[in-house]
C-alpha cells in the first residue's frame, strides 16, 4: 500500500521533485480535524497458491510484483523476495516515489512505462480487473503479466504466501522465515508491532486531535520500550533466526529517523538514541536482503513531497546522514543464526540495485 493511507495515492505540491509525477490542483488531505487516523485495511483477498484455490496458481514468470521503494509495506515484499531468491520467478516493477491523485506511476522507467506491463499507472492494472475499483490504488500489488490484471494487494498475506506457497521456487539455502514451530509467536508479536509501531507512526502523523495524537504517541513509545527490552537479550524477535516478524519491524525502523521522528512528530527520541533497537536495526540493515532494498532518497521524497497537509512547502530534508547505518552493531555477541540452516542471498538482481551509502 501507499506509505500514507493504506495506499491511497497522494498528490505532490507544485514544487515537483526529480522523478515525481506532475502536480495536480486536487490535493487530498490526510489529517481529518478532530479525528484519529483509521487505516483502510480492506484489500483484494485473492491468494496465489499451489492449489490455485482462488484461480491463481503458483507459476514462475506469470506474475509481476509492483512495489515502490518508498513504501514500508511494499518494502516487506521486496525483502522477502530477496531472502527467498524469488527474483527470477516473480519480476519486480518499481514505481517512482511520488505520484498524482490517481495512482502510482512508472515515471522512473524509460518513457514512463513499466517495461513488462506496458502501463503508465498501476491504476490501469486495477481497472483491468475491476473497472469501477472504489478503493485506493495500493502497493505492493501483484499483477498477472499476460492479462495485465491485478491479482492481490493484500500485503500481509503476500509475504506469508511467498514463504509458504512458493516453496518449490525458493533458492537453495533460503531461510525459513515463517517456521511452523514459531508461527503463533510470530503472529502475536507482529500484531502488536503493527498496531503500535508500523501503523502507530501514522496514527501520530495523521492525528486530527491532540487527544488522538497523545494516545498514539504513548502507545508507540511504550511498544518501542518493550522492544528495546525484548531485544536486549536476544538477537531477533522470535527464536534465534530472522523471521517474518523482523521483516515487519525493520521497514518502520529504517524510516524512523529519516521521516517519522520529525515529519510524523514521533519525537520523544530518535531511533539512534535507543541503543538496543538502533543496534538491532543496523544488524538487519547490514544483512544481505535488508539494507540493499532501502533507498533513503526515495523514502524522504515520498513522505515530504506527498503529504502536503503536513509539509506544504514540499521541502525535503537533507539529513540525517545515512552512512551511520554502516557502523558496527555488535549484535553478534548475542549469538543467533540470521539465516538458520540456510545461507545469505546473493547480490541484488541487475536493475534492482539501490544507491550505496559508503
Which residues are identified as catalytic? 71, 202
104 annotated ligand-binding residue: yes
Beta carbons within 10 angstroms of residue 129's beta carbon: 16
Half-sphere exposure of 53 (CA within 13 A, CB side): 7
CA torsion 260→101→6→4, rounded to 10°? 10
230 sits in which H/E element = helix 210-230
Q: Which residue has the cell 503463533?
A: 184
* Distance set, CA 234 to CA 100, 198, 291 (Å): 43, 21, 21
Beta carbons within 10 angstroms of residue 271's beta carbon: 21
Q: Per the structure block, which three cell numbers stand in for 239?
A: 527464536
Phi and psi at 151, nearest 5°, equal -100, -50
Angle between helices 275-285 and 244-255 (to 10 degrees): 110
Are 343 and 179 a contacting pair, CB within 8 Å?
no
223 sits in which H/E element = helix 210-230
List of long-range contacts for 255-259, beta carbons under 8 Å, 24+ apart: 255/72, 255/299, 255/303, 256/201, 257/320, 258/296, 258/299, 258/300, 258/317, 258/320, 258/322, 259/299, 259/300, 259/303, 259/304
Are 115 and 108 a contacting pair, CB within 8 Å?
no
Phi and psi at 86, nearest 5°, equal -95, 10
Angle between helices 244-255 and 296-306 (to 10 degrees): 60
Tell me the helix, strand and coil percentages in the chain, rounded to 5: 40, 5, 55
CA gap 205, 212 in Å, rounded:
10
Q: Which residues are annotated as a binding site for glutathione?
A: 104
Q: What are the binding residues?
A: 104
Amino acid at each position: 500500500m501507499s506509505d500514507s493511507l493504506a495506499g491511497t495515492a497522494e498528490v505532490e505540491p507544485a514544487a515537483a521533485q526529480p522523478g515525481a509525477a506532475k502536480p495536480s490542483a486536487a490535493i487530498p488531505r490526510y489529517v481529518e480535524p478532530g479525528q484519529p487516523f483509521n487505516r483502510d485495511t480492506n484489500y483484494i483477498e485473492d491468494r496465489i497458491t499451489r492449489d490455485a484455490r482462488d484461480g491463481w496458481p503458483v507459476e514462475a514468470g506469470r506474475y509481476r510484483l509492483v512495489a515502490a521503494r518508498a513504501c514500508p509495506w511494499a518494502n516487506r515484499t521486496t525483502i522477502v523476495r530477496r531472502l527467498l531468491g524469488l527474483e527470477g520467478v516473480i519480476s519486480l516493477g518499481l514505481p517512482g516515489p511520488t505520484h498524482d491523485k490517481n495512482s502510482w506511476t512508472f515515471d522512473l522507467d524509460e518513457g514512463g512505462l513499466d517495461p513488462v506491463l506496458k502501463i503508465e499507472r498501476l491504476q490501469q492494472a486495477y481497472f483491468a480487473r475491476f473497472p469501477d475499483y472504489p478503493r485506493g490504488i495500493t502497493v505492493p500489488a501483484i499483477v498477472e503479466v499476460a492479462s495485465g490484471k491485478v491479482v492481490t494487494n493484500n500485503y500481509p498475506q503476500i509475504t506469508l504466501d511467498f514463504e509458504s506457497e512458493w516453496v518449490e521456487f525458493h533458492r537453495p539455502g533460503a531461510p525459513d522465515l515463517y517456521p511452523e514451530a514459531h508461527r503463533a509467536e510470530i503472529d502475536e508479536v507482529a500484531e502488536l508491532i503493527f498496531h503500535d509501531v508500523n501503523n502507530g507512526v501514522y496514527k501520530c502523523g495523521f492525528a486530527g486531535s491532540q487527544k488522538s495524537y497523545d494516545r498514539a504517541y504513548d502507545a508507540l513509545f511504550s511498544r518501542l520500550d518493550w522492544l528495546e527490552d525484548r531485544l536486549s537479550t536476544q538477537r531477533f524477535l522470535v527464536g534465534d533466526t530472522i523471521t517474518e516478524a523482523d521483516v515487519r519491524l525493520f521497514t518502520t525502523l529504517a524510516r524512523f529517523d529519516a521521516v517519522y521522528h520529525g515529519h510524523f512528530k514521533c519525537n520523544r527520541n530518535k531511533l539512534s538514541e535507543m541503543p538496543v533497537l538502533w543496534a538491532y536495526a543496523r544488524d538487519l540493515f547490514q544483512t544481505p536482503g535488508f539494507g540493499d532494498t532501502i533507498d533513503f532518497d526515495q523514502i524522504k521524497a515520498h513522505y515530504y513531497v506527498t503529504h502536503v497537509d503536513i509539509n506544504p512547502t514540499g521541502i525535503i530534508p537533507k539529513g540525517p546522514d545515512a552512512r551511520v547505518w554502516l557502523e558496527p552493531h555488535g549484535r553478534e555477541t548475542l549469538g543467533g543464526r540470521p539465516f538458520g540452516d540456510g545461507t545469505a542471498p546473493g547480490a541484488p538482481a541487475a536493475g534492482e540495485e539501490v544507491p550505496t551509502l559508503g
